[in-house]
Amino acid sequence: MATGQTDLPRAVTAAAVGDPRPISQREVVREWLRMECQRGAIESDALGTLTDREALDELLERKPGAAAFVWRESPTWYELSLDRETFERLHVVEGPENLRWRALSPDGTVLGAARRVANEDPDRLAAETGVDVRKVLRFSDQPPGGPLVLSTRQGCSPVTVADGNHRAVAQALGLLAGEDYRPRRAYLAIGANPVLRPLAERTCGLVRRILSRL
């Protein structure tokens, strides 16, 4: 492992094939927007003129649900290639129960979604869940490039796919069919555990009260 990599969170090093690297949120946001450009959602000519704040605003406007954690949690970002074990434990994007990806995956995982796609009628699944299942099947035949955008929190939270669910489920379909695993490039965001944050705030408050009595 490269010098300094031992300082990275265990959740990052344990998930990686090779050496992960810290990456700035600025790089992630702009790469995420570039992928949106490739999908035709944004004019690519306009991307280079955006300030960092404008780029984040543009991303939040285009992906209000999936990208909300970026401003809500101010996570720390890493670029890595996912190992197979981590990939197989990925969860689909967060959202309400019984809606879209959460409706497609009985257990909330990418593999769970892939099993349904592999075993059920794609048009019926699309009508039931609102997920473009035919797109997943197209991607399984012709896998597109680009990193997945993943998020998790400090502690034991699952790693969820914020962007790239169609691609992740398409790759999982291949694994179910017996294909070899190809390490998937990803950006992993690690946010603060919401349980730990109030505890830290209470601890700081207690310390302040003690000091005020000295």
Domain interval for residue 177: 13-22+77-212
- For residue 20, the Cα-to-chain-centroid distance in whole angstroms is 16
Residue at 99 is within a domain: yes
Mean pLDDT of 125-148: 94
pLDDT at 173 over 60: yes
Note whether residue 207 is domain-resident.
yes
Is there a domain that residue 70 lies in? no
Q: What is the pLDDT of residue 153?
A: 86
Tokens of 129: 């869940």
Residue 45 lies in a domain: no
pLDDT at 201 over 60: no
pLDDT in tens, 7-35: 677 778 777 777 889 999 999 999 999 88
Residue 52 lies in a domain: no
- Looking at residue 212, what is its pLDDT? 43
Percentage of the chain surpassing pLDDT 70?
Answer: 82
Average pLDDT over residues 135-151: 92
Does residue 40 lie within any of the structural domains? no
Q: By the 8 A CB rule, do 17 and 23 touch? A: no
Residues near 47 by beta carbon (within 8 Å), at least 6 away in sequence: 30, 33, 34, 37, 55
Mean pLDDT of the chain: 84
Tell me the CA distances in angstroms from 210 to 57, 199, 206, 214, one per residue in order. Answer: 42, 17, 6, 7
Residue 87 resides in a domain: yes
Query: Quick check: 199 pLDDT over 90?
Result: no
Structural domains counted in the chain = 1
pTM of the model: 0.82
The answer to the question of residue 30 being in a domain is no
